[in-house]
Amino acid sequence: MSIPTPEKRVAAFEKFGFGMFIHWGLYSQLGRGEWVMNQERIPLEDYKKLASTFTASKFDGRRIARIAKAAGMKYITLTTRHHEGFSLYDTKGLNTYDAPHTPAGRDLVREFVDGCRAEGIVPFFYHTTLDWYNPDFNGNFKAYLKYLRDSVEILCTEYGKIGGLWFDGNWSKPGEDWEEDALYAVIRKHQPDAIIVNNTGLSARGEAGNPELDSVTFEQGRPTPMDREGMSKYFAAEMCQTINAHWGFGAKDFNAKSLPHLIETLCACRKVGANYLLNVGPTGEGEIPMLQEALLRGIGEWIGAGRANIYEGRPCGVTGTGKNFALKSGNTLHFYVHDLSVVGDGNVVVADGGTGKKTFTGVGDKIRSVRWTDNGENLAFEQDGDRVTIDCTGYPYGTNLVVRIAEAEIE
């Protein structure tokens, strides 16, 4: 048995490493999450009225792409249509439940794509497969699937080259024939290089589905290492996560994750070679909430401060103690060290240990020298075969990188 080699598009996707997920739709105006229609049993006739107040007055695709870039993200996956059934794109007459038929009067997917391109960010489209609007979803499923394919065909033909399609909702009818082959054939016909994902949801994390898919998903979880031995094809892995407790805007959701948590999660994903797709929920008017933007910018500053090789760096069989690990790209080996303390005067610094010798095993290379990437300080180390022990100094007073990176020079 052997490990299949990734197709070119899949290998490129893995190197994106870090992306932004955006959940935005009519529901954002209510500020109680994207499932509000379902959870509060709002009748469709009432819910639909949200289209008449949807102005997108603060939606700026370019500004969002700039925030993603500042965060160190390489791609953005936008909900072009979520379970509510409303489309942010021009459905070209498939129905009138779309952004051009609201007071916004614009094709918001076009603005999103243009904004991404201007900033060098790759646009991906999330598209629901579950639909609370179209009566065919429960009445005439075959007709619904045709409508779904026609919708996706618009996305594949109207916006130039896109990064991929991200489906979500097949878990709603597990026994049904979703005619997945026909849906993916539409994409392959127009966008042969697009990544195709179909979220397996909370109950089936990491499971590979249809062979046409390119990545497995780990919704709201810690991705586990993929065992690709003997697989029919190489699947990438992606973990999507909310920045607070909801995907769609939650006006009263104060449960934002902390910056250290987000940095560690990014590291935990890259440790196993998975992409991290971190969600933001813009307001009804289309603006990323300030706190969420600040957290994203913080992650970007961390990536810059430690020159983290999270894009090119791949797992290389090196294991450290605790959360520590290493990534390799070409001839560069980076050790990721967690939980170091700040060194300084005992009256100001809480010295809770954390510094000292850290051991890594499985190091195949002969190490010549090791230094912190953030300040260039050389570190003492010992190597015994594939076992490397680095004497990790603490953070100089005034800094704390949460996860600190030591770069090894290889012989």
Rank residues 206 and 320 by Cβ distance to ligand GLC and give the closer one: 206
> Total number of residues binding ligand GLC (CB under 6 A)?
9
Q: Minimum CB separation from ligand GLC for residue 204, in Å? A: 11
Q: Does 209 bind ligand GLC (CB under 6 A)?
A: no
Q: Should residue 396 be labelled a site residue for ligand GLC when binding is judged by CB under 6 A?
A: no
CB 95 within 8 A of CB 129: no
Q: How far is CA 169 from CA 80, 337, 391, in A?
A: 14, 38, 49
Instruction: Report the SS3 class of residue 24.
Output: coil
DSSP letter at 116 equals H
Find the binder of ligand GLC among 34, 84, 119, 214 (CB under 6 A).
34
Q: Rounded to the nearest 10 degrees, how much is the dihedral formed by the CA atoms of 130, 131, 132, 138?
A: -90
Determine if 315 is a binding residue for ligand GLC (CB under 6 A).
Answer: no
Residue 131 binding ligand GLC, by CB under 6 A: no
Q: State yes or no: residue 90 binds ligand GLC (CB under 6 A).
A: no
Contact code string over 215-254 relative to ligand GLC, x by CB under 6 A? ----x--------------------x------x-------
Instruction: Report in angstroms the alpha-carbon separations of 328 from 120, 135, 384, 406.
Output: 25, 51, 19, 12
Which of 241, 295, 248, 246 lies closest to 268, judged by CA?
Answer: 241
Query: Does 80 sit near ligand GLC (CB under 6 A)?
Result: no
For residues 159-198, which are near ligand GLC according to CB under 6 A?
Answer: 168
> Rg of the Cα trace of the chain?
23
> Which tokens in the block code for residue 17?
């490493």
The C-alpha atoms of residue 94 and residue 150 are separated, in whole angstroms, by 8
367 interacts with ligand GLC by CB under 6 A? no
Can residue 373 be called a binding residue for ligand GLC (CB under 6 A)? no
Buried b (16+ CB within 10 A) or exposed e, 62-85: bbbbebbbbbbbbbbbbbbbbbbb
Closest by CA to 308, choosing from 293, 283, 327, is: 327
- Min dist CB 182 to ligand GLC, Å, is 22
Closest to ligand GLC by CB, 152 or 406: 152
Residue selected from 31, 100, 201, 344 as contacting ligand GLC according to rule CB under 6 A: 201
Establish if 124 lies at the interface with ligand GLC (CB under 6 A). no
Structure tokens of 316? Answer: 């290389």
Regarding 275 and contact with ligand GLC (CB under 6 A), the answer is: no
Can you give the binding site for ligand GLC, defined by CB under 6 A? Answer: 23, 34-35, 168, 199, 201, 219, 240, 247
